[in-house]
Structure 1
Amino acid sequence: MAQQGTDGGEPQVPRSPSGRIPEWVLDEAAGRPPEPVPWRAPAPAPRRRRGWAVLRALVIVPLVVLLSLVASVLVGPRTWPWSPVTPDLPAATPSVTPPTLTTPPDRPTAGREAARTPLGRPLPAPPEGGTHTFIAFQEDGVTPVAYDPCRPVHYVVRPDDAPPGGEDVVHAAFARLGEVTGLRFVHDGVTDESTTLERDIFQPERYGDRWAPVLVAWETEEQNPALAGDTVGQAGSVAVSLGEGPRVFVTGTVSLDAVRMPEILSFRDGARTARAIVLHELGHLVGLGHVDDPEQLMYPEARREVPDFASGDLTGLSVLGAGPCVPEL
């Protein structure tokens, strides 16, 4: 996915007459820095074209960063005060504890689950380094926005329309991302949230006194128009800041095409390709942008030769796993 600040896009997975997945998959970013960046789904006939020629909206990372933010998946930070959040759906987990009277109406009690030190350590960046880009930066224009490493990043999965084996792919991808970044990802089970769009990042009646967890869902084009055409995935995160403090991602969304992903999983080596798609999306989720290097997973054209994070991806993820701890949020 091109940059988007948070989004992730997924590759096109063209099919050959034999049903095998061709050697390439296009990832077209159709989002904006604040929106989720999607990848392209399988094209009817595989034709080798450079991703930059096919990608129209998000191939140029700088342009993406300049686009306006989208409420559902903002990549740019917001500052307090925010307007109160009014959940419009019944709680998915009856056992959650509602905020106390001292809790601000628009955000959780500060320091929820915050530890004094990072919960893990990112893998050392490869000695050779590699090409990588970031979606959003702090005020210094150099330090990338990242998730707080001193507290776990929770995620939930909406099981509706999930293809056989789909959730296993998602969990495996989060496990790999945690291994690389040192961030602790915690699966909180299933949810009944109806959409990844226009999503409240604080839903006390559903999730309790904490930031809403990352939402992973399989959606149709009707549910998420961004999945129209060949787009098979979209992801993004919301960053917030308190006063002049650092910006921190607190939650996000990952939308996977409920129609095309099952097709991809049915291909030979489909689980491998699907995992690469989800890994690419999760790279966007934690702050990586697209690169013009075909040897990296974050290249907008996915290739069978690159099923996992490569040296440049790992270099960027090492930095994102060492973001600031912000207990006051």
Structure 2
Amino acid sequence: MVGEAVSEVARATGLHLVVDASDSSRPLVQDWTSSSGGLDPTPQSILVGWATPDEVPGLAGRVAGLGGSSASASPLTGRWSWSTGQVALDADYFATLNARDVEGHASGRAVIMHELGHVVGLAHVDDAHQLMAAENLGLVSFGDGDLRGLYQLGQGRCERGSLDDPWDPAAA
């Protein structure tokens, strides 16, 4: 589900996103309210993990997932850019999806797509026909408005020193 959701967000934004499941030891953070979002400052990484409401209190109630990112100012230009993000998924909710059929898989993928939408910069919308609505009423794919927003986010300029635009100080 994660790989499929990442592919959908990459396709919609044009961003180069790669799933690297090599680091299973990084814990999800509980404090999403600090100025850095409480996120590990490893540049250009998104941590996706499963947790319980005891581990990530924001997952309490009917919340299937949380997603967000943090930004930092470039020491070279002073411009702010995305630096890292996190998606916390409710382990119990996803365990029940595994017991279901294709519908459960599609629902889980939609939750992950929604949360990755937050990571790349989308907020909740009031339109129930969009996957980025605060409450999903059964949608399993991005709506037209979601796709327009994701496309616009993908048109942003890469900061020097990013993986897409490496900066060589000797060439300056």
Pairwise TM-score range, normalised by the shorter structure: 0.7 to 0.9
Q: Which residue of 2 aligns with 1:178?
A: 10
Q: Which residue of 2 aligns with 1:279?
A: 113
Q: Please list, as runs of the form range in 1=range in 2, the aligned pairs for 1:236-247 lying within 5 A after superposition.
A: 236-242=68-74, 245-247=78-80
Q: Which runs of 4+ in 1 moved over 4 A?
A: none
Tell me the CA shift for residue 196 of structure 1.
2.9
Correspondence 1:193 to 2:33? no
Note the residue ranges of structure 2 that are not aligned, 5 or more in a row: 31-37, 163-172
3-state SS of 2:18 partner: strand
Over residues 127-184 of structure 1, what are the superposed CA-to-partner deviations in whole Å (9 max), with x where a residue is unaligned? Answer: xxxxxxxxxxxxxxxxxxxxxxxxxxxxxxxxxxxxxxxxxx0110001111111111
More helix by share: 2
Q: 1:258 aligns with which of 65, 71, 91?
A: 91
Q: Which residue of 2 aligns with 1:323?
A: 156
% identity of equivalent residues: 37
Q: Which residue of 1 aligns with 2:48?
A: 216
Tell me the CA shift for residue 200 of structure 1.
2.6
Q: Which residue of 1 aligns with 2:134?
A: 300
3-state SS of 1:185 partner: coil
In 2, distance between residues paired with 1:250 and 1:215? 12
In 2, distance between residues paired with 1:242 and 1:173? 29
In 2, distance between residues paired with 1:212 and 1:176? 18
What letter is aligned with 1:322?
Q
Quick check: 2:39–2:70 contact (8 Å CA) kept in 1? no
What letter is aligned with 2:3?
H
In 1, distance between residues paired with 2:105 and 2:80? 35
Quick check: 1:196–1:215 contact (8 Å CA) kept in 2? no
Q: Please list, as runs of the form range in 1=range in 2, the aligned pairs for 1:8-157 lying within 5 A after superposition.
A: none
Q: How many residues align?
A: 152
Larger radius of gyration: 1
What letter is aligned with 2:115?
E
Q: 1:228 aligns with which of 49, 56, 60?
A: 60
In 2, distance between residues paired with 1:297 and 1:230? 16
Quick check: 2:98–2:105 contact (8 Å CA) kept in 1? yes
Change (3 A) 1:232 1:267: same
Quick check: 1:246–1:324 contact (8 Å CA) kept in 2? no
Quick check: 2:39–2:84 contact (8 Å CA) kept in 1? no
Q: Which residue of 2 aligns with 1:13?
A: none
234-243 vs 314-323, which moves further: 234-243
3-state SS of 2:145 partner: helix
Over residues 4-50 of structure 1, what are the superposed CA-to-partner deviations in whole Å (9 max), with x where a residue is unaligned? Answer: xxxxxxxxxxxxxxxxxxxxxxxxxxxxxxxxxxxxxxxxxxxxxxx
Q: Please list, as runs of the form range in 1=range in 2, the aligned pairs for 1:164-175 lying within 5 A after superposition.
A: 169-175=1-7
Change (3 A) 1:176 1:182: same
3-state SS of 1:251 partner: strand
Note the residue ranges of structure 1 that are not aligned, 5 or more in a row: 1-168, 203-210
**Given the two structures, how large is their TM-score scaled by the length of structure 2?**
0.81
Quick check: 1:196–1:217 contact (8 Å CA) kept in 2? no
In 2, distance between residues paired with 1:310 and 1:274? 17
Tell me the CA shift for residue 324 of structure 1.
1.1
Quick check: 1:238–1:252 contact (8 Å CA) kept in 2? yes
Over residues 96-121 of structure 1, what are the superposed CA-to-partner deviations in whole Å (9 max), with x where a residue is unaligned? Answer: xxxxxxxxxxxxxxxxxxxxxxxxxx
Over residues 277-322 of structure 1, what are the superposed CA-to-partner deviations in whole Å (9 max), with x where a residue is unaligned? Answer: 1111111110011111111111122122x31111100110111001
In 2, distance between residues paired with 1:250 and 1:295? 30
What letter is aligned with 1:324?
R
**Given the two structures, how large is their TM-score scaled by the length of structure 1?**
0.44
CA RMSD of the aligned region, Å? 1.8
What letter is aligned with 1:200?
D
3-state SS of 1:301 partner: coil
